[in-house]
Structure 1
């Protein structure tokens, strides 16, 4: 295996199987300002958060409110839990501004979704549960950083998945190529997943992550790296809007890109369980549904891959309740779903990249 591909494989395994340390606290840590300040210092040390003294004082007040909120929610009888993670001293507004893609805004600018066919319309006898991770069709969890590039990560999950299904080869693909080169979207300022699919189709493929690595910032398009595609697709289709059963049909066959409303502290600090908390339909975050299932008590859920790193949620994933009674699904998950089409098993033929020689 080439050195670059080997490094990506090792990193992916580390992200999937590596132990993720949680940052726990007790009621005693909340007993006084002094104990809370000590908790904040320990949290900063673990997450390597650097603040000057004035900013530390301001951030401490935000941190304190977040810790108290997490503690309060976890004492409630909810099917999910929260934890203090790396977003501990950010307000909900700051968090949304730093990590969101404002997908609903882009949809308003670009107009309504294009009309496409839906190849899974007549699908029936769907399996009771699906997890594309178990089929080796999902790479390790990645981290978009403080860049609103979630749309690129969402699209890449879907393309990586269909490529594995069609070719039996799992390749970690380049989000940075989409951020730098896909001009219908706006890089770290956000975008739409279907634009990413069309870009990949028109440019005859997307290159590998190890060739065009992620930098978590906008950059100039590197045409030399872009001209080394390793995976191609033939287009995309949109899942019928506001139809969770149609979404289930699609996910039964491949990972699917979706948009959700990720605002609010419960998603910011989600740790484990089936999420059924409060959220709206102001779509602002691109993620990917990589499976579905049902808990022992009968609660139906989606398996959603996020791009906030493996220390968030269930090792980078969230289980979101499905079939909630609202046509748009929880957090609008059924409003903006799409997936790439790959008709053939052939990927682009190219000359070896210099680092492979």
Structure 2
């Protein structure tokens, strides 16, 4: 099985968080914003120590105002006060967008892959494809406070192509990559999908999540040989040609692809949905 993927900038993969709406009147006074903060904490089951609560409230207030002001503009997306609403953008980037793609790309040098692009000569693609409906995508996963999104991005693509080729959807082990793929990748300190694909190929496959579950941190001990479970293998990977939307269209019409995106803005931290009403 060969994989196609495209790298844009920073890798970011986390569990989608549902925020909730609020009324403009809730922003009128300090007391009403505090009540909104308490409602938010209850909604997301967020506990804060008493000495920390005021600082977190100040961050929350700043983020809520940003959400409110941004949503009043004619932007093609909407923000919400999701589960990241009382952390600073610096904290968000360090905890959830820490794959350091540029750093790892410089260390690795030019991109390497199997060569070519298998869908180059495709001339007809469907108007839409939903790989969830085709059963090629597992449930949304949460990397937690660990810069392991490179591993999640890798695994998602392997899960998808494995389903397409074998008709079996198997949730695979991100933790195996975090623990074992350490020659170039650095666990929670970040990494790239490219060497992770090579690791899976060269090691003869990857174990299922069920037998090698995610532990939200660097365990620093590769336990792959000690756990059971059938492995899923790949025979290579390819790069989707850069800056080529037609090539990307062809790729995603045939399989889920591994993608890295730039998570470097406050709007991404508080992103909720695409706003189809925007013009």
TMscore range, shorter length:
0.7 to 0.9
Post-superposition offset of 1:52: 2.0
Distance of 2:45 and 2:189 partners within structure 1: 26
Q: Deviations over 1:262-316 (max 9, x none)?
A: 1112111111115xxxxxxxxxxxxxxxxxxxx799x9xxxxxxxxxxxxxxxxx
Q: Give the equivalent residue in structure 2 for 1:316.
A: none
Which residues in structure 2 correspond to 1:313-324 (within 5 Å)? none
Q: Give the equivalent residue in structure 1 for 2:91.
A: 94
Which residues in structure 2 correspond to 1:283-294 (within 5 Å)? none
Q: Give the equivalent residue in structure 2 for 1:224.
A: 225
Identify the structure with the greater strand proportion.
1
Post-superposition offset of 1:202: 1.0
Q: Deviations over 1:303-356 (max 9, x none)?
A: xxxxxxxxxxxxxxxxxxxxxxxxxxxxxxxxxxxxxxxxxxxxxxxxxxxxxx
SS in 1 for 2:254: coil
- 1:256–1:269 CA distance, 2 compared to 1 (3 A): same
What TM-score results when the alignment is normalised by the length of structure 2? Answer: 0.88
Residue 34 of structure 2 corresponds to residue 37 of structure 1: yes
Distance of 1:228 and 1:167 partners within structure 2: 16
Post-superposition offset of 1:228: 4.1
Unaligned runs of 5+ in 1: 1-14, 275-294, 300-357
Distance of 1:213 and 1:89 partners within structure 2: 29
Which stretch shows the higher mean deviation, 111-120 or 99-108?
111-120
Larger RCO, structure (CA 8 Å, separation 6 or more): 2
Distance of 1:247 and 1:69 partners within structure 2: 33
Residue from 102, 106, 126 that aligns with 2:104: 106
Which residues in structure 2 correspond to 1:1-357 (within 5 Å)? 22-100=19-97, 101-114=99-112, 116-183=115-182, 184-219=184-219, 220-225=221-226, 228-273=229-274
SS in 2 for 1:130: coil
Q: Deviations over 1:22-75 (max 9, x none)?
A: 422111110111111111122122222222223211111111010001011111
Distance of 2:226 and 2:169 partners within structure 1: 20
Post-superposition offset of 1:226: 5.6
Distance of 1:80 and 1:257 partners within structure 2: 23
CA contact (8 A) 1:204 1:229 kept: no
- 1:29–1:180 CA distance, 2 compared to 1 (3 A): same
Distance of 1:168 and 1:70 partners within structure 2: 42
Q: Deviations over 1:174-205 (max 9, x none)?
A: 11111111112101111000111111111111
What TM-score results when the alignment is normalised by the length of structure 1? Answer: 0.69
Query: Paired residues, what number?
Result: 261
CA contact (8 A) 2:59 2:86 kept: yes
